[in-house]
Structure 1
Amino acid sequence: MKEFQVAVLGGGPGGYEAAIRCSQLGLKTALIEARELGGTCLNRGCIPTKALLHSAELFEEAKNAAAFGVKAENVSFDFAAMAKHKDGVVARLRRGIEALEKGHGVEVIRGFGKLTGKNTIDINGETVRAEKIILAMGSAPARPPIPGIDGKNVMTSDDILAMESCPDSFVIIGGGVIGMEFATLFATLGKPVTVIEMMPSILPGVEKEITDLLLAGLGKKVKVITGAKVTAIEGGDTVTVRYEENGTAQTAQGGACIVSVGRRPMTKDMGLEALGIRMNRGFVDVDDFLETSIPGIYAIGDITGKIQLAHVASAQGLAAAANCAGKRERMAYDIVPACIYTSPEIAYVGMTEEKAKAAGREFAVGRFNVAGNGRAMVMGAASGLAKILSDAKTGEILGAQLMAPRATDMIAEICAAMKCEGTIEELAATIHPHPTVSEVIMEAAHDAEGLCCHAMPKRK
């Protein structure tokens, strides 16, 4: 029997970072993983999706290069080569994680782990004992009970990211982040896409003025149907998706159907219920310190049902590791950025106007149209908006929504300001480099004060 001070069950972004941090804090640590290190994010999610999106972005730029004085004729794409590039990036990053675990003295144990006691994990018939355990099993694509969901060419995100050839058209069930990123990918490659969303709007958490801009930019590339319920799928070389819209039966067809309606926690058959760990609809209940109902057992990442984002899992993993080492590190979720790799990118953090009103907050709003930004215009990407909410009395930043080139890189500035309880005045007074797209943040902050120099004066 191998014995450790901490055993981490799951090698995704939360688990592998938790294992490293435990080792850094002087704890003898094991990382248990049945599949590849890096979990869904690296192998079947964040990284491969963005690799394909980057290839599609380059294809789009090459097609439109003439507008910038660059001649590129007969531009085409090779999806198999795109997939090969994606796989190469994933493989390099995976090898990097393996080297990091080894370099930090973490023992990686390959195999499917299952809890058999408060301090024991069974791995393919072998037992590992640990004083503390961190559960980090992650999630898998949800498969709702839609008739025909197992049919030919009906795919999840895992299936799509394993493709080496590209179907001619797509029907996407779900207008959330995953669905809209795939819609952007395949529409950019020139493939007709239909998105069917049950809710009244796409991208929950994103303000309507942002989603309206996105839909206007997608134009005829993507047909988005909201308020529609899928009733059946008929698989085949051509997939037919049946749905109801306003009480009327409708159909949509494509060469493939992508089901992207969320993710389910990987907690089944892990021995959690038998051990008495408190659960909630398949998710693991944790307190503010990531500890489960059983002292000494922690849970992080998608299985906690908090916010299913890789960077949240990583933050939870570091906090749980600190608590395994005897610290008392509380996990907070009030400043968590969300990123959507559409075109343009969308990123947001904190309160929306709707949430601020619901909370009874008096707030000011600063806006700046990306069309007024020189760098964005140079790039030929002058569509979008920067919007910042601040407390009307104190000026403290409450939240922001960005739609702009590389918005996902820029949102961290807002997060840092919020973490330091920064104000809209301080953000406006921060000198931003010119010419950069990041200036839209400064301009929106100036607008909140009624002092934006690069916007027409507001009518009184």
Structure 2
Amino acid sequence: MTKSYDIAVIGGGPGGYMAALHAARFGKKVMLVEKDFLGGTCLNRGCIPSKTWLKNAEIIEAIELSREWGIQTDNITISLDKMKKRKDEVISRLRNGVMFLLKQGKIDVYEAEGFVEEGNIVKVVSDKKEERVQTDKIIVATGSSPSVPPIDGLDSASFYTSDTIFDIEKIPSSLTIIGGGVIGVELATIFSSLKTNVTIIEMGGRIIPTEDADASKALAKSLQKKGVQILTDAKVTSVKQNGDKTIVECLNEKGESVSVEGEALLVSVGRKPNLSAVQAVKLEQNGPFIKVNEKMETSYPNIYAVGDVIGGYQLAHAAYMEGIVAASNAAGCERKMDEKVVPRCIFTLPEVASVGLTEEEAERKGLQVKAERFDLAGNGKALVSGDTSGFIKIVYDEKYGEIIGVTMVGPHVTEMISEASSFISLEGTVEELANMIHPHPTISESFFDVARNIIDKSKK
């Protein structure tokens, strides 16, 4: 072994490249190993391509709404080729940006596959050669892959996952989506705007089941208004290919058999960790994922893990902070991850954003809380925008008024949720929020309106 590094990072996604950049800022000699494209799932197959196409969906909806506002337009024509070209251009530009930052940080990037071995050694394997590198600390950021359930007949049928759907060759006339989580509802939004007949099959009692029940209800109503069919409490029993159609058989909540036929099938039922890089070391696991503490330390000395491979929220911005925390600790500067202030965003139309505990989660924990909701039907900017279907809900401690959770549904609420994150991080109260001046007319002033309503009710 002729090379040695202070810190080695395996994986070039958000958690990995952020860890590498942060470690370099501490003056450490850093290597990063990535076998695929820099940027990971988020940049190449997830957040960025989906948001690029969701912008198309937003524009299509705006054009259709404009006809009711006196703006006459011809029929919309859609070029999937141009949509894909723009998506690829955005991805390429951001990829180059990541590479520029890594070069600027003087980080050695290996286009190869990395494997952790005992003794703080990273085996680097590429098409050209294999070498072993000595390191002081290792940060594992190998990400995750789409989980494909063992459904009868699925292995012999044609289907997409979130990794492949953005390379689809034509807009399907109909699309069946197995899974009503974040990926499922975002892609339902995209394809319904492209006039595809979309059906979501969700095993749970509602879509986005980990989010606030009112948010789930509002989003379901919006999707159904756009023609999306939603089957909940539905268990998929088999998949069959019939020519150019895919038939999904499932049982509904009554135990009755339901058949859904579609030109295309998307399977989006969660993700599994990529663990091949750590098979040589016995890391303690949390279910299928690598177990870490709040410092991102694994059960093995000098090995840290961040991002999708540790489970949790599996969000790029969570991975960013996990990477910063891991790099800080690996560099000898103690830091801890605060999971309670991680915002969660769903880029549907309307958008859904939340942070902290939902009302249901707080009640399950036995906390003495109250919740207050303000509907956007009473918001001037929402009326101007023609989108009043959303709301803002605050969950707060009954005794002290401390805000412990916020859920928002409406236009561009993903741009507003950081204010709620700040409040929760700073242990802010509804009284403090009610004393803050918000600009008018904006959607954001509804956050103030909720707090004002809480204070007014408390004085009665």
| Shared fold (TM-score, shorter chain, > 0.5) | yes
Q: Does 1:165 align with 2:170?
A: yes
User: Do the aligned partners of 1:371 and 1:382 also contact (CA within 8 Å) in 2?
Assistant: yes
Q: Does 1:122 align with 2:130?
A: no
Q: Which moved more, 1:428-437 or 1:363-372?
A: 363-372
User: What is residue 253 of structure 1 aligned with on the other side?
Assistant: 261
User: What is residue 450 of structure 2 aligned with on the other side?
Assistant: 444
User: What is residue 134 of structure 1 aligned with on the other side?
Assistant: 139
User: What is residue 242 of structure 1 aligned with on the other side?
Assistant: 249
User: Do the aligned partners of 1:153 and 1:255 also contact (CA within 8 Å) in 2?
Assistant: no
Q: Hey, what's the Cα distance between the residues in 2 that align with 1:176 and 1:140?
A: 16
User: Do the aligned partners of 2:15 and 2:307 also contact (CA within 8 Å) in 1?
Assistant: yes
User: What is residue 266 of structure 1 aligned with on the other side?
Assistant: 274
With structure 2 as the length reference, what TM-score do the two structures score?
0.95
User: Do the aligned partners of 2:35 and 2:113 also contact (CA within 8 Å) in 1?
Assistant: yes
Tell me the CA shift for residue 252 of structure 1.
Answer: 0.1
Q: How does 1:204-219 map to 2 (within 5 A)?
A: 204-219=209-224
User: Do the aligned partners of 2:240 and 2:246 also contact (CA within 8 Å) in 1?
Assistant: yes
User: Do the aligned partners of 2:356 and 2:405 also contact (CA within 8 Å) in 1?
Assistant: yes
Q: Which moved more, 1:79-88 or 1:133-142?
A: 79-88
Tell me the CA shift for residue 64 of structure 1.
Answer: 2.4
- Alpha-carbon RMSD across the aligned residues, in angstroms, is 1.6
User: What is residue 351 of structure 2 aligned with on the other side?
Assistant: 345
Q: Does 1:302 align with 2:308?
A: yes
Specify the code of the residue in structure 1 equivalent to 2:449: E
* Structure 1 residues 240-281: Cα deviation after superposition (integer angstroms, max 9, x where no partner): 0011112222110111110000000000x32x2432222344
User: Do the aligned partners of 2:171 and 2:194 also contact (CA within 8 Å) in 1?
Assistant: no
Q: Hey, what's the Cα distance between the residues in 1 that align with 2:75 and 2:201?
A: 33
Specify the code of the residue in structure 2 equivalent to 1:161: F
Q: Does 1:84 align with 2:80?
A: no
Out of 198, 203, 206, the position equivalent to 2:208 is 203
Q: Does 1:365 align with 2:366?
A: no
Specify the code of the residue in structure 2 equivalent to 1:398: I
| Percent of aligned positions that are identical | 43
Specify the code of the residue in structure 1 equivalent to 2:94: L
User: What is residue 6 of structure 2 aligned with on the other side?
Assistant: 5
User: Do the aligned partners of 1:428 and 1:445 also contact (CA within 8 Å) in 2?
Assistant: yes
User: Do the aligned partners of 1:367 and 1:386 also contact (CA within 8 Å) in 2?
Assistant: yes
Residues matched between the structures, number? 452
Specify the code of the residue in structure 2 equivalent to 1:307: Y
Tell me the CA shift for residue 393 of structure 1.
Answer: 1.6
Q: Hey, what's the Cα distance between the residues in 1 that align with 2:286 and 2:438?
A: 46
User: What is residue 46 of structure 2 aligned with on the other side?
Assistant: 45
Query: 1:312 is paired with a residue of what secondary structure?
Result: helix
User: Do the aligned partners of 2:31 and 2:110 also contact (CA within 8 Å) in 1?
Assistant: yes
Q: Does 1:18 align with 2:19?
A: yes
Q: Hey, what's the Cα distance between the residues in 2 that align with 1:228 and 1:370?
A: 32
User: Do the aligned partners of 1:118 and 1:275 also contact (CA within 8 Å) in 2?
Assistant: no
Tell me the CA shift for residue 67 of structure 1.
Answer: 2.1
Q: Does 1:174 align with 2:179?
A: yes
Q: Does 1:155 align with 2:160?
A: yes
User: Do the aligned partners of 2:396 and 2:405 also contact (CA within 8 Å) in 1?
Assistant: yes
* Structure 1 residues 269-326: Cα deviation after superposition (integer angstroms, max 9, x where no partner): 32x2432222344311112211111111101111112221111111110000000111
Specify the code of the residue in structure 2 equivalent to 1:84: K
Structure 1: stretches of 5+ with no match in the other structure: 453-459
With structure 1 as the length reference, what TM-score do the two structures score?
0.95
Query: 2:133 is paired with a residue of what secondary structure?
Result: strand
Tell me the CA shift for residue 451 of structure 1.
Answer: 6.2
User: Do the aligned partners of 1:284 and 1:303 also contact (CA within 8 Å) in 2?
Assistant: yes
Tell me the CA shift for residue 364 of structure 1.
Answer: 2.8
* Structure 1 residues 183-238: Cα deviation after superposition (integer angstroms, max 9, x where no partner): 11111221111111111111022222222222222225111111111111113411
Q: How does 1:316-355 map to 2 (within 5 A)?
A: 316-355=322-361
